[in-house]
Amino acid sequence: MIEFFLHRPVFASVCALFIILAGVISIPTLPVAQFPQVAPPVVTVTANFIGANAQAAEASVTTPLEEAINGVDGLRYITSTTTSDGTSTIVSTFELDRNIDLAANDVQNQVNNTIGRLPTEVRATGVTVTKNSGTFVLAMGLASNDARYDRVFLSNYAANTIVDTLKRIRGVNDVRIFGERRYAMRLWLDPTRLNQNHLAASDVVAALQTQNVQVAAGSIGAAPIRSDQPYQISVRAIGRLRTPAEFGELILRANPGAAHVRLRDVGRVELGAESYAQDLRLSGKDAIGIAVLTLPSANALQVAGDVRTVMNKLEQRFPHGVYYRFGFDATPFVAESIREVLKTLAISIVLVIAVVFLFLQSWRTTLIPAITIPVSLIGTFALMKMLGFSINTLTLFGLTLATGLVVDDAIVVIENIARFFNA
């Protein structure tokens, strides 16, 4: 094989140029990450049994889901946790060579087959199946100097105007909100009043399920009708309740004498947040957090730049007093690490050429390794593109180390020569 290229220098030169061209084209398209992706695929199943304790949720939710997921192809092991508020979390870890999309699809199918065995409360809220996301590349805090915009407003503003826009950026896998406050109608019941009216909390829940619904009221004058009917009118009935006052008028029981017990008679209703479990502050002010996760195949540096550009545009439409600040950014470390490793790689190449010339004392002979080093290094990036690898500090360190070994060997030779003459 070596003789084949030695007798055909033009063909060898063309092959070298082709390798360099393929590597140069591949470098901009390679994903850039801090570390290589070595974690196995993980699929998480989450269900919430509202009002149940850990023991009840474990028996009626976690165990049936575990039994269903246990037979999925490529599954290594399952871990699950059940909290005292009825939340069940099942983490399924798969083999390294298992495709994460196919694994998530298989888990979803098994969960769908088990939905009928779960309690009604769990089926109402749904079971969530998510695959492991990429890495956190950016995190920011959204706060306000205006007292009118509290954490509930900021959370819903971010969910409606910021999150969806960031998710459309190429390379973004998910955008999460920390300290989220989704709008929710909160009903505060007075146990004393409930007892006086011979009611229980279950009566309030039943009234909500039967009266707070969206119904199709039909139409007047629809077929079959008489021939002299000139109009057909659609009937629009009041559906879901929207304001605290409308919820307060909810009828819980009809008493003799045309009297009614309404929700406002046994408690109060207010528009608040769905959960107050998390709190986040930015520079001493109430805030929410927004974290951006990248796809494993995405360029982290490119994603971070696009996110900053989009946030600068969105900031121009923020309400007066609302602002954001970046609290976490992984890209400066990645960029600086790659820059330093590339600098070291260039120094190593120069030292290799210098050491080779020092021993061979011929520029013509030195030109051969001087050409082969860039060809092999740049061509490696084309091979990485074919194999689906990403650029990270460990990969570049390996390339630098491979080049630096020649320098280390040459330094050892020089030291031995110096010791010989000094002796």
Residue with tokens 């829940």: 205
Helix (H) or strand (E) holding 288: strand 285-294
Residue 181 pLDDT > 90: no
pLDDT at 14 over 70: yes
Please indicate whether residue 355 or residue 66 has the higher confidence score (pLDDT): 66
Instruction: Say what the pLDDT of residue 224 is.
Output: 75
What confidence category does residue 166 fall into, taking pLDDT thresholds of 50, 70 and 90? Answer: very high
Beta bridge partners of 290: 140, 177
Q: When comparing pLDDT for 192 and 419, which is higher?
A: 192
Supply 183's token pair.
């709008």
Question: Rounded to an integer, what is the distance from CA 382 to the centroid of its chain?
Answer: 29
* CATH fold for domain 40-131: Alpha-Beta Plaits (3.30.70)
Q: Is the pLDDT of residue 289 over 50?
A: yes
Band of residue 1 on the pLDDT scale cut at 50, 70, 90 = low
pLDDT range class, residue 307, cuts 50, 70, 90: very high
pLDDT of residue 96: 80
Section 109-118 average pLDDT: 89
Q: What DSSP letter does each residue of 213-278 carry, written as one string?
A: ------EESPSS--TT----EE-----S--SHHHHHT-EEEEETTTEEEEHHHHEEEEEEES--S-
Give 6's pLDDT tier (boundaries 50, 70, 90). low
User: What is the CATH number that goes with domain 134-182+274-329?
Assistant: 3.30.70.1320
In the prediction, which pLDDT does 300 show? 79
172 beta partners: 294
**pLDDT at site 413:** 42
Assess whether the region 40-131 and the region 134-182+274-329 belong to the same CATH fold: yes
Residues paired with residue 92 on neighbouring β-strands, in sequence order: 43, 78
Predicted confidence band of residue 25 (pLDDT cuts 50, 70, 90) = confident
Q: What is the CATH number of domain 2-34+334-422?
A: 1.20.1640.10
Q: Looking at the domain covering 186-272, what would its CATH class be?
A: alpha beta
Asked if pLDDT for residue 418 goes beyond 80, the answer is: no
Residue 37 confidence (pLDDT) above 60: no
What is the band of 152 on the pLDDT scale with cuts at 50, 70, 90? confident
pLDDT for position 417: 44
Q: Is 61 exposed, middle or buried (0-12, 13-18, 19+ CB in 10 A)?
A: buried
Closest listed residue to residue 282, CA positions, set 290, 274, 271? 290
Closest CA to 212 of 176, 195, 187: 187
**Span of 228-237, 243-252, 315-324 with lowest mean pLDDT:** 228-237
pTM: 0.65
Task: Give me the helices (H) in 119-240, please.
Answer: 120-125, 151-157, 163-167, 191-196, 201-211
pLDDT at 409: 46
Is residue 319 scored above 80 in pLDDT? yes
Is the pLDDT score of 211 beyond 80? yes
Average the pLDDT over 391-410 and give the result: 49
DSSP 72-124: -TTEEEEEEEE-TTSEEEEEEEE-TTS-HHHHHHHHHHHHHHHGGGS-HHHHH
Coil vs helix vs strand at 41:
coil
Q: Which residue has the higher pLDDT, 148 or 413?
A: 148
Mean pLDDT for the chain overall: 80
What are the residue ranges spanned by the domains of the chain? 2-34+334-422, 40-131, 134-182+274-329, 186-272
**pLDDT given for residue 311 in this prediction:** 92
Strand partners, 329: 138
* Nearest alpha-carbon partner for 277 in 155, 144, 157, 159: 155
pLDDT at 125: 81
Burial group, residue 243, by CB count within 10 angstroms (0-12, 13-18, 19+): exposed
300-315 vs 331-360: helix crossing angle, rounded to 10: 140
The answer to whether the beta carbons of residues 150 and 275 sit under 8 Å apart is no
Look at residue 335 and tell me whether its pLDDT is greater than 80: no
Give the separation between CA 33 and CA 390, rounded to whole angstroms: 7
Q: Which residues contact 94 (CB under 8 A, 6 or more apart)?
A: 40, 41, 42, 43, 72, 74, 75, 76, 100, 103
Phi-psi region of 74 (alpha: psi -120 to 50; beta: other; left: phi over 0): left
d(CA 349, CA 285): 52
- State residue 54's pLDDT score: 87
Q: Which residue has the higher pLDDT, 398 or 258?
A: 258
Q: Find out whether 159 and 305 touch, Cβ atoms under 8 Å.
A: no
Which is more confident, 347 or 65?
Answer: 65
Residue 333 reports pLDDT greater than 80: no
Instruction: Give which of 406, 402, 316 is closest to 355, Cα–Cα.
Output: 406
Give whichever of 5-9, 78-82, 144-148, 276-280 has the largest mean pLDDT: 78-82
Percent of the chain with pLDDT over 70: 85
H or E element: which one contains 47? strand 42-48
* Amino acid type, 418: A
What pLDDT does 19 receive?
79
Position 394 scores a pLDDT of 46
